[in-house]
Chain A
Amino acid sequence: MTTNATATGIDAHDRVEVTVTVNGVPRSSQVQPRRLLSDFLRHDLRLTGTHVGCEHGVCGACTVLLDGAPVRSCLTFAVSVDGHELTTIEGLAAADGGLHPVQQAFRDHHGLQCGFCTPGFVVSACGFLAEHPDPDDEQIREGMAGNLCRCTGYTGILGAVRQAADELRATGDDPRQRTRDGATASGEEVSS
């Protein structure tokens, strides 16, 4: 932690150590105060699953969970979240590669094409489902309406969130938790 350093101020071009717990693992790096959380994750921590589509808060591609709630990493400075917990798209599938129920549902419903918006949608959906375990279709539509997708027309995405909601409610799992090994198929099989 850099409590004292931050309290007394950091010069614009100085670097400061930021430590966060990402997907359960403490990670740190030295950054300028202006470093966006999106760049910190992608380029300092090399967690490139979080994408950047606009850097002005509209597209949602950069969405991550901050202490369990979805936020825009492009509108957040890394220094502001020093000491906090983050979950990114890399923190959802099981260690053995098994897909998270939301991820599996996206696959089952053809909820992605180019895959660029996908991490933002999946993470947003996890945050949404944690708050709305039993959503109706209209709530799902509105809940996903902070993220832009240019490929899918949203059809598969809405269907996927519906499926994931039903499944997660049945298991009672917290949608923001990493999937356990062996919990779902590895996702590599090609089913017809």
Chain B
Amino acid sequence: MTTSLLGAPVARSEDPRLLRGEGRFVDDLGHDAFEVAVVRSPHAHARIVDIDLGDALEVDGLISVYTFDDLPERLREPLPLLIPHPSLTAGRTQHVLADGEVNHVGEAVALVVAEDRYAAEDAAERIMVDYDPLPAVVGPERALQADQAVHDDIADNVAAHLEQEIGDARAAIADAAHRLSFRLDIERSASTPMETRGTYARWDADDQRLRLYSSTQAPTSVRAAVAAYLGLDLAQVECIAPDIGGGFGVKIMHPWPEEILVPWVARELGHDVKFTEDRREHFVSANHERAQVHQVEVGFDDEGRVLGLDVEFVHDHGAYIPYGLIVPIITSTQLIGPYKLENYRVTFDSVYTNTTPVTPYRGAGRPQGCFVMERTIDRIAAHLGRDRTEVRAANFLQPEELPYDFGLVFQDGRAYRYDSGDFPGSLSKLKELIDWDGFAARKAAAAAEGRLLGIGLAAYVEGTGVGPYEGGHVLVEPNGSVQVSTGLSSQGQGHQTAFAQIAAEELGVDLADVKVVTGDTRRFPYAVGTFASRAAVMSGNAIHLAARKVREKALRIASEALEVDAEDLELADGKVRVKGSPDTSIDLNVVATMSNPLRYAFDEAARIATQFTQPGDPNAPPVAEGEAPGLEATDYYSPIHSTFANGMHAVEVEVDPDTSDVRIGRYAVVHDCGTLVNPRIVEGQIFGGVAQGVGGALYERMAYDEHGQLQNASFMDFLMPYATEVPRVDVDHLETPSPLNPLGIKGAGEAGVIPGAAAIAAAIEDATGVVIDAMPISPSQLHARRLDAASTT
């Protein structure tokens, strides 16, 4: 192999199947399964007085109905609190079916099983639940008023309060030449993958085994949870994440009530059972994210250098807190971005409200943090009358200061330590890409025509590839195919291709010979999951390490067979060959055959490995000590702490002076995620992230009314952008490899979404002169702001 596969923009091996309509998503399976429908609470907060099955039992095709009272003891326990944290003193999680009280619209109250989903919905519609409604707590500020409790025993609605500080922020602010304080808000949104949630269970009564297909980002953990709730050995349960139609965080949440109920019912009934969530359910019963209100105080010098920063924020985690404090902890640390902050204090309250629970959505607290920091820098620049890029440059950590330890604790409980990056380098690339210096002229020319142009930028640093670990298994089959597996699952990130590139590179084989399986506990039972832009870093490196072991073993075997020193051998073109004389070689598949001493020549190729053909050293065991048969290896990658990717976005917008409609012109991205395994896949992640950032800035919000009713639970009213709303994006890469892992990779999955709201807010502010301190913003809201501003000046 002359050209390296790492870094090559190879086309994806996943594609042909998906393009031909041969994908295998959960609802593509189990056509004969019973289907379930869930009776969900129409109230944000209520006690359940009575559940009357009414004439539901007469529905044609009905199989059974379950309420809390029908559940076995183990299933009556609350669902797990997945990530306990010492500060999380008042954690509550939901039940698989409501136990006498509902705390958000959409909470599961009863389960209907029927021959198909049509009949299941017919029955669900007929079940009469008598509710005694209670006042709803909606919005973080209402929660803190504490005049109404979401959970009776948590009167202040606060699940956790956390504080971190470096230096002495308040003293530094007090001593600073300039001080500002202001509030910044981000509203609720959600991952909203195109495929909703789904779970399909097959109980094999003969084998006493359960097979579960679930649209999840964490199949190994789902398996463990289901085994625990159903009282099964892990060995009896297999969980497969087949093709998944997008996750973006929401599918890292597990186990969902349905993920426990469906396999339980399948075993009870001795029949396959499937749950396919519909879109309306997804809006209210799959988790949301983002809503936070922040109070900022900052002190700075004449150059705009931040001397002290104090941020207090409230995180609205909804009705339950199954995923712990991950999102607000990420905000509180990642807020810092590429800047050198020596006096920083951050506190947050994580509060209950009667709304759908909050767990990570792509970006996971970072878009909020970025919004806070970048809007702060823009305020400083405006206050001093300085260029916004200059103020950023004045605050950057310099490349020679990295690695840099802030003295804070990150979401994994480990040090918040930036490993590498070149922020000034990124900024100069960005300025060039968007033609920052030429903007003033563009703006003036537009103004002469009565048009309003604005430009904004935002920078971020993203901790990616958090632990604890991932593993990889690599096996060369005697037919030459290379089987690679890892436990985490894929939701469209092109893992099959990227992981194949990593293995093929190490083993010198053709990409087409590498077959990758992800998210199947039958193939690889140990894993953590796909989140925090960690798959390429964690599984990528684990597969690299496993492939390296295979390579070493292949060299050992070949060196004996060829009687050449292993040092003088290389793997290329599917062979082990002598460096410099490529004609002396042995095919890798032959090495694979030889690696497994055989008694039976079940086919022609196998003859070479049988005991009379390959007698070996008669005084040594056929399988040497410390060796195992087969050309395969497993390895794990477990870093000490996260690696940190970074990037900057700049955007030019035009605001219609009459309608306040915002149109995005140019959008530029400079991105540093270390070594690029496949630049085309990384760019795809950026493009997709930017579209979500645009959605979060201008279109998407979860609009709750004061009664906790979600008013826009459909794609008609939750405005996910179409192609007409998303701009063209120009991307430039910087590669500062991470010193923390063998491949030098940093994660790329979430980056695109992080600075969107901050950059677009800045551009709108620049175009209109109106301070933008809350996102998303609609034309109606922007119009109102402009009117306010005009009337106060």
Chain A interface residues (CB < 8 Å from chain B)? 13, 32, 34-35, 42-43, 46-56, 58-59, 61, 88-90, 92-93, 97, 99, 103, 106-108, 110, 112-119, 122, 141-142, 144-158, 186-192
Contacts and interface: CB of A to CB of B under 8 A. Distances in A.
A112 B18 contact: yes
Contact of A190 (B11, B23, B686, B728): B11
A34 B279 contact: no
A114 B193 contact: yes
A158 to B, nearest CB: 6
B279 A110 contact: no
18 contacts: A42-B28, A48-B24, A48-B25, A48-B28, A49-B23, A54-B715, A59-B194, A89-B20, A89-B21, A107-B15, A110-B681, A113-B492, A114-B491, A115-B23, A150-B193, A157-B723, A187-B15, A190-B13
B245 A51 contact: yes
Interface of B: 3, 5, 8-16, 18-25, 27-28, 31, 60, 116, 118, 191-196, 243-246, 248, 278-279, 491-494, 497, 500, 511-512, 680-681, 683-684, 686-692, 714-716, 720, 722-724, 726, 728-729, 752
B14 A13 contact: no
A155 B722 contact: no
Contacts of B500: 190
Contacts of A142: 723-724
Nearest to B491: A114
A97 B22 CA distance: 11
A99 B244 CA distance: 22
Judged by DSSP, the binding face of B is loop
Contacts of B729: 153, 155
Contact of A119 (B21, B497, B722, B752): B21
Nearest to B191: A150
Contacts of A61: 194
Contacts of A107: 11-12, 15-16, 19
B688 A116 contact: no
Given A97-B20, A106-B15, A190-B13, A152 B684 contact: yes
Contacts of B512: 188-190
Contacts of B13: 190
Given A55-B278, A61-B194, A107-B19, A115 B11 contact: no
Nearest to A74: B279
A55 B279 contact: yes
A148 B193 CA distance: 10
B15 A58 contact: no
Residue from B20, B118, B497, B689 having most chain A Cβ neighbours under 10 A: B20
B688 A153 contact: yes
Given A110-B680, A192-B9, A147 B722 contact: yes
A53 B246 CA distance: 11
Contacts of A147: 722-723
B194 A53 contact: yes
A154 B497 CA distance: 21
Contacts of A119: 21
A13 B720 CA distance: 37
Contacts, number: 203
Contact of B25 (A51, A153, A156): A51
Please give me the 4 A-B residue pairs with the lowest Cβ-Cβ distance, nearest first.
Answer: A49-B21, A116-B245, A114-B492, A115-B18
B21 A145 contact: no
Residue from A42, A107, A158 having most chain B Cβ neighbours under 10 A: A107
Contacts of A42: 27-28
B493 A58 contact: no
Judged by DSSP, the binding face of A is loop
A53 B722 contact: no
B664 to A, nearest CB: 12
A116 B618 CA distance: 57
A190 B501 CA distance: 11
B279 A150 contact: no
A176 to B, nearest CB: 15
Contact of B692 (A50, A150, A157, A192): A150
A93 B683 CA distance: 27
Residue from B13, B15, B245, B278 having most chain A Cβ neighbours under 10 A: B15
A115 B511 CA distance: 21
A51 to B, nearest CB: 7
A146 B715 CA distance: 12
A155 B494 CA distance: 16
Nearest to B28: A48
Contact of B723 (A56, A97, A116, A158): A158
Nearest to B32: A43
B15 A112 contact: yes
A56 B248 CA distance: 22
Contacts of B28: 42, 48
Nearest to A13: B60
Given A51-B195, A112-B15, A114-B193, A154 B10 contact: no
Contacts of B278: 55
B722 A148 contact: yes
A116 B688 CA distance: 14
Contacts of A93: 19-20
B194 A149 contact: yes
A150 B16 contact: no
B10 A191 contact: yes
Contacts of A34: 118
Residue from B13, B18, B116 having most chain A Cβ neighbours under 10 A: B18
B19 A118 contact: yes
B246 A58 contact: no
Contacts of B728: 155
A88 to B, nearest CB: 7
B194 A114 contact: yes
A187 to B, nearest CB: 4
A114 B20 contact: no
Contacts of A189: 512
A129 to B, nearest CB: 15
A158 B727 CA distance: 11
A178 B681 CA distance: 29
A114 B478 CA distance: 32
B21 A90 contact: yes
Nearest to B196: A53
A155 B195 CA distance: 20
A144 B351 CA distance: 41
Nearest to A44: B31
Nearest to A47: B21
B754 to A, nearest CB: 14
A187 B16 CA distance: 6
A114 B246 contact: yes
A186 to B, nearest CB: 8
Contacts of B722: 144-148, 154
A149 B752 CA distance: 15
A116 B21 contact: no
A34 to B, nearest CB: 7
Contacts of B60: 13
A49 B14 CA distance: 15
A88 B8 CA distance: 33
B247 to A, nearest CB: 8
Nearest to B723: A154
A145 B3 CA distance: 39
Residue from B195, B196, B497 having most chain A Cβ neighbours under 10 A: B195
Contacts of B714: 54, 56, 58
B19 A152 contact: no
A67 B168 CA distance: 72
A99 B724 CA distance: 27
B491 A56 contact: no
A149 B500 CA distance: 26
A58 to B, nearest CB: 4
B27 to A, nearest CB: 7
B20 A145 contact: no
A49 B22 contact: yes
B123 to A, nearest CB: 14
B173 to A, nearest CB: 39
Given A56-B714, A114-B243, A148-B720, A49 B194 contact: no
Contacts of B511: 190
A34 B500 CA distance: 45
